[in-house]
């Protein structure tokens, strides 16, 4: 298990556009393994390559982690083909630690991507997974959720307190 350093807001690399992956080699596979380890270690549900300083179009997402069975998606060169519906909720990012803000995203998305064998796949998602796909794909074009949020950033503790009150 190898953890990589997560870049935080203010680091220029988070604002750059990532390049398409042409082939998956040993280095790419190591990067993907490290991205998964780093995401789980930080209790995140998604991580994009630029967040660990690599300008490649790769994201990992796992919105329902359990130890028994992997539910992780590894998306290479992902593109959203369709989006519809709407969901409004709080979002956070490992590159903006301790903060959340309200972001409206499509409720349902269809994306295409390449898997680690460079075979094209289609993923249909709704709810949290759809939100995560939109958030992570934005990272590949240098966009952070605070750019598209409709509320100011606030401390994540407030979110937890709200949840506890329910």
Whole-angstrom distance, CA of residue 104 vs CA of residue 107: 9
| Residue with Cβ nearer Ni ion (93 or 140) | 93
Measured CA to CA, the distance from residue 146 to residue 2 in angstroms comes to 29
Which segment (9-17, 24-32, 76-84, 85-93) binds Ni ion by CB under 5 A?
A: 85-93
Tally of CA atoms within 13 A in the half-sphere of 101 that contains its CB: 15
Q: Looking at beta carbons only, is 60 or 76 nearer to Ni ion?
A: 60
For the beta sheet containing 96-105, the strands, ordered from the edge strand earlier in sequence to the opposite edge, are 87-93, 96-105, 154-155
Check the CA dihedral 132-133-134-140 and report its sign: positive
Point out which residues pair with 73 in neighbouring strands.
Answer: 61
Q: Where are the alpha helices (DSSP H) in 16-126?
A: 26-41
Shortest gap between Cβ of 158 and Ni ion (angstroms)?
Answer: 19
Total residues at interface with Ni ion (CB under 5 A): 1
Q: Shortest Cβ distance from residue 153 to Ni ion (Å)?
A: 13
Q: Is 157 an active-site residue?
A: no
Among candidate residues 136, 150, 163, 164, the one labeled active-site is 136
Tell me if 93 contacts Ni ion by CB under 5 A: yes
**Residue 77 vs 95, nearer CB to Ni ion:** 95
- CA torsion 145-10-73-28 (nearest 10°) is 150
Stretch that binds Ni ion, among 23-31, 32-40, 92-100, 116-124 (CB under 5 A): 92-100
Q: Which is nearer to Ni ion, 93 or 103 (CB)?
A: 93
Using CB under 5 A, which of the segments 25-33, 58-66, 67-75, 91-99 binds Ni ion? 91-99
List active site positions.
Answer: 136
């Amino acid at each position: 298990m190898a953890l990589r350093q997560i870049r935080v807001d203010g680091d220029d690399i988070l604002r750059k556009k990532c390049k398409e992956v042409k082939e998956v080699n040993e280095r790419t596979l190591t990067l993907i393994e490290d991205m998964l380890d780093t995401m789980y270690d930080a209790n995140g549900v998604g991580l994009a390559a630029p967040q660990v300083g690599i300008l490649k179009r790769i994201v990992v997402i796992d919105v329902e982690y359990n130890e028994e069975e992997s539910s992780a998606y590894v998306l290479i060169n992902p593109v959203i083909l369709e989006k519809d519906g709407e969901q409004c909720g709080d979002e956070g990012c490992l590159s903006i630690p301790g903060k959340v803000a309200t972001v409206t995203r499509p409720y349902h998305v269809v994306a295409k991507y390449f898997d680690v064998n460079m075979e094209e796949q289609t993923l249909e998602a709704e709810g949290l997974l759809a939100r995560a796909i939109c958030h992570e794909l934005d990272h590949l074009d240098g966009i952070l959720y605070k750019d598209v949020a409709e509320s100011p950033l606030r401390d994540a503790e407030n979110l937890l307190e709200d949840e506890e009150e329910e």
